Structure 1
Amino acid sequence: MSDERRIPPSFTPAGGGSSRPRQDGDAISVGGSDTPARPSGRVGRRDDAVPMEPREPRVRRQSSREIPVTPQRRSATPQRKPQSYAPAVGSTHRAAERQPTRPPSQQPRRAGAAPAQPRPAPAAAPPSGRDGGSGGIRIRKGRVAALVLALLLVLLLAWPVGLLIWANGKIQHTEALSGAEGTSGTTYLLAGSDARGSGGIDDGTAGARTDTIMVLHQPRSGPTALISIPRDTYAEIPGEGASKINSAYAWGGPPLLVESVEQLTGLTVDHYAEIGFGSLQEIVDAVGGVELCLDYDVDDKRSELVWEAGCHQADGATALAFSRMRYSDPKGDIGRAERQRQVIAATADKVVQPSVLLNPIDQVQLVEAGTDALLVDEDTGMIDLGRLALAFKSATGPEGVTGTPPIADPGYNPGGGVGSTVLLSDDADQFWVDVRDGELEPGSTVGGL
């Protein structure tokens, strides 16, 4: 007697497939039928059905005669067709679950069909902006250009600042200023120290002298003036009496020289700069030489200057002899002051040339030579020296004023063992007032005999 609770072998539960291979007659109709196939055996009530454990779906081998048919679901809204369909286990009313889509290489193929060839990978784009083979790091040209520009800006800013700090540390300072109440404008006192033996010249004179004394004044308005005070100018030396003004340097160094010039001119010295003649030679060589002009021949044994009339390119040694020669000059000390201004003006003009200012090697050489040559007051730094150079260039330019104070007698002998001196005119006091207030004619040469 058959057990009604037994499930016939041909019965396929809803939501799962039979464990036996299906025959042609057992195939479930697909492709539009909503009614599931009835089981071939007797089945008890639904409540009395023997529960079955869900089984893993088996891969059904397809015959070369069979054509796979993808079941379709009727829906009012069109939906994407699934790759495979399997009813949910345990319920005919649950929605079918989708299985993950297999990659093309794992899809079943028909018997006898050629194996699927892998699709060739798309050609790689040319390596634009990539680091050639080193990890494939993308480098954008715009970012590289911005980075290079930023580095250049840093260098352009860092180099001048670093050079300024380094140069400031090399400047030699000395006590020089008197501390007197300031006058209008800015006044620089430039002194050329004649330390014997420097620059290869030794004329037997004991002690140090100032063969060059220049007052550079930049007024609040009006032309900048560069006035040379002859070294033998008869002047009052504070605490020493009247004598040649260059004696002040020999007796009291820069401080006494500053006081003597302030008393003579009525101008308060704001900055003091002293240069040795031997170092002048190094500075001229550092800028590559300068062009100097003299309209007569010279063969001076004391200064060792040999010159043919005209303009010539001069190296440091020649420029030094050119600025010191006076015994072969028909105008004596006044002619020498003119040539000294020419040497300094030519040197200053060469310093501000772009070929020198923008060349780091020339900058270092010039700073080395300049800081070794200069001795300045305690309040003067590289920025002040830069302003001095600009003021000097302005004074020697077409709108500047150059010359000497008005001279009454270039061979005045006051007696008392002082010797021959240069006596200034009575209107010298008014002359210095005009210098202070910028009242002199722009582009003029003033003073002299």
Structure 2
Amino acid sequence: MSDWTDPAGGDRTGQDLGRVPPPAFRVPPPSTRTAPLPGMPSPAAPGRYDGSGEGHGGRGGSRNRRRPTRRRRFLRTTAVLSSVLLLGGAGTYVWADTRLNQEVDLGALGGRVPSGEGTNYLVVGSDSREGLSQRDRKQLNTGSAEGRRTDSVILLHTGANGTTMLSLPRDSWVTLPPYVDPDTGRSYRAAPNKLNAAFSLGGPDLLVRTVERNTGVRVDHYAEIGFAGFVGVVDAVGGVDLCLDKAVRDEDSGANLPAGCQTLDGAEALAFVRQRKQEAEGDLGRTRNQQRFLAALARKAVTPQTLADPSKSFPTLRAGLDTLIVDEGTELPDLMSLFEALRKAASGGGRQLNVPVADPNLRTSKGSAVKWDDRRARALFTALREDRTPPSTRGG
């Protein structure tokens, strides 16, 4: 894919704070003592007013004192519960905000493309093993490779014309911009390579610059989650329901799922979204599976049963933050907007697309790669940059 250039000819290209649980905010129970009604004497001691005349105040008192109605009791209970939820929610917000690992500095990147309309998130699923024990790695079939590589790359656009979830195959044949190896300090010129190589060679910084150079779409926010966080989120919500047309078996990822509808736990879900050898279209088939699963996960995570159950909502938040890496400009409201956009795309309120492809098995010096359809891909990227409804990418 040819590069995007600006009019001037320039290149348009976890912090671990420990597993501290959310602070508990205790609200004292409402007092059971009530002020006397007008015209009634104050009881000297708690008594029973049952209309028999034997309680304090006699028969006349029992007639004037009214029991709280069911509606009043409901409103009183609701008020107390609301106070607890509000205080707990505020505490959870502060707790979660301090756990954000904002290690990516998009503001320090040079040679970026101009901003367009709407907001763009680069959502990355990495194969980072951080947070996984050797036993976990064996059970999850993640291997022992160190470092981080991309398992999924999604460009999520939100704007006046709705939400678009666009998958970029990690084997996409793109042009990497000039970069400096962060480990050796050696400089490299622009060169063609796979999209996944950008992340392996230069981390999030080079990946963002590569995506911008090859799409012309400016990345406003970056979010990355590793294997451990993905598995933890799925398990925290109680698994994700998915229906498979055929059995899925893959030795490399460990997938061994029967055909039919079932609930996938974290390990099974990870194996499903990582497998691709069984897919007729390889990497393209995997991106479709990833979109499909994210849609199911988003639907499950926002159900009233999950949101209203602290035993699910708190572990979900904690698991997601454990391996989440974001840019310095991303705060909790941005993450909420990101998740809402994913939910919309998943529930039919948006579009789930793959970048148009001309050759899914391009032979290159780096092995088999995915070649984009330049003309159709440019039209799609231009629509996203200008916040217009993207053209159909059927067949891509």
Query: Partner of 1:227: helix, strand, or coil?
Result: strand
Cross-structure match for 1:226? 165
* Contact 1:176–1:258 (CA under 8 A) maintained in structure 2: no
Query: Partner of 1:340: helix, strand, or coil?
Result: helix
Deviation at 1:174, TM superposition (A): 1.0
Which of the numbers 430, 435, 439 marks the counterpart of 2:384?
435
Which of the numbers 189, 192, 195 marks the counterpart of 2:128?
195
The change in CA–CA distance for 1:148 and 1:394 in structure 2 (over 3 A counts) is: closer
Aligned residue-pair number: 318
- Tell me the distance in 2 between the aligned counterparts of 1:129 and 1:173: 60
Cross-structure match for 1:184? 117
- Tell me the distance in 2 between the aligned counterparts of 1:202 and 1:358: 33
- Tell me the distance in 1 between the aligned counterparts of 2:43 and 2:120: 60
The change in CA–CA distance for 1:267 and 1:218 in structure 2 (over 3 A counts) is: same
One-letter code aligned to 2:378: D
- 1:21-70 C-alpha deviation (Å, 9 max, x unpaired): xxxxxxxxxxxxxxxxxxxxxxxxxxxxxxxxxxxxxxxxxxxxxxxxxx
The change in CA–CA distance for 1:447 and 1:157 in structure 2 (over 3 A counts) is: same
The change in CA–CA distance for 1:196 and 1:148 in structure 2 (over 3 A counts) is: closer
The change in CA–CA distance for 1:131 and 1:258 in structure 2 (over 3 A counts) is: farther
Cross-structure match for 1:394? 344
Query: Partner of 1:188: helix, strand, or coil?
Result: strand
Deviation at 1:148, TM superposition (A): 5.5
Which of the numbers 145, 158, 166 marks the counterpart of 2:87?
158
Deviation at 1:283, TM superposition (A): 0.6
- 1:343-399 C-alpha deviation (Å, 9 max, x unpaired): 222111111111111122222111111111311111112211111111111122223
* Contact 1:187–1:218 (CA under 8 A) maintained in structure 2: yes
The change in CA–CA distance for 1:359 and 1:414 in structure 2 (over 3 A counts) is: same
- 1:91-121 C-alpha deviation (Å, 9 max, x unpaired): xxxxxxxxxxxxxxxxxxxxxxxxxxxxxxx
Moved more, 395-404 or 364-373: 395-404
Superposed, 1:103-142 pairs within 5 Å as 132=46
Superposed, 1:217-256 pairs within 5 Å as 217-219=157-159, 221-239=160-178, 240-256=190-206
Deviation at 1:431, TM superposition (A): 1.3
- Tell me the distance in 2 between the aligned counterparts of 1:352 and 1:149: 22
Cross-structure match for 1:211? 151
* Contact 1:405–1:448 (CA under 8 A) maintained in structure 2: no
* Contact 2:253–2:271 (CA under 8 A) maintained in structure 1: yes
Identity %: 38
Query: Partner of 1:350: helix, strand, or coil?
Result: helix
Q: Please, what is the CA RMSD of the aligned residues?
A: 3.0
One-letter code aligned to 1:157: L
Deviation at 1:149, TM superposition (A): 5.5
- The answer to whether 1:377 aligns with 2:317 is no
- How high is the TM-score relative to the length of structure 2? 0.73
Where does structure 2 lack aligned partners over 5 or more consecutive residues?
Answer: 1-38, 49-55, 179-189
Query: Partner of 2:374: helix, strand, or coil?
Result: coil
Relative contact order (C-alpha < 8 Å, sep 6+): which is higher? Answer: 2
The change in CA–CA distance for 1:363 and 1:407 in structure 2 (over 3 A counts) is: same
Deviation at 1:176, TM superposition (A): 4.1
Deviation at 1:202, TM superposition (A): 3.7
* Contact 2:249–2:256 (CA under 8 A) maintained in structure 1: yes
Which of the numbers 253, 259, 268 marks the counterpart of 1:303?
253
Q: Between Structure 1 and Structure 2, which shows a larger proportion of helix residues?
A: 2
* Contact 1:403–1:448 (CA under 8 A) maintained in structure 2: no
Cross-structure match for 2:357? 407
- Tell me the distance in 2 between the aligned counterparts of 1:202 and 1:317: 10
- The answer to whether 1:334 aligns with 2:284 is yes
- How high is the TM-score relative to the length of structure 1? 0.65
Deviation at 1:425, TM superposition (A): 0.7
* Contact 2:281–2:360 (CA under 8 A) maintained in structure 1: no
- The answer to whether 1:268 aligns with 2:221 is no
- Tell me the distance in 1 between the aligned counterparts of 2:197 and 2:328: 23
The change in CA–CA distance for 1:315 and 1:411 in structure 2 (over 3 A counts) is: same
* Contact 2:120–2:156 (CA under 8 A) maintained in structure 1: yes
- Compare CA radii of gyration and give the structure with the larger one: 1
Where does structure 1 lack aligned partners over 5 or more consecutive residues?
Answer: 1-124
The change in CA–CA distance for 1:242 and 1:358 in structure 2 (over 3 A counts) is: same
- Tell me the distance in 2 between the aligned counterparts of 1:141 and 1:384: 48
Deviation at 1:126, TM superposition (A): 11
- Tell me the distance in 2 between the aligned counterparts of 1:265 and 1:232: 15
Deviation at 1:414, TM superposition (A): 3.0
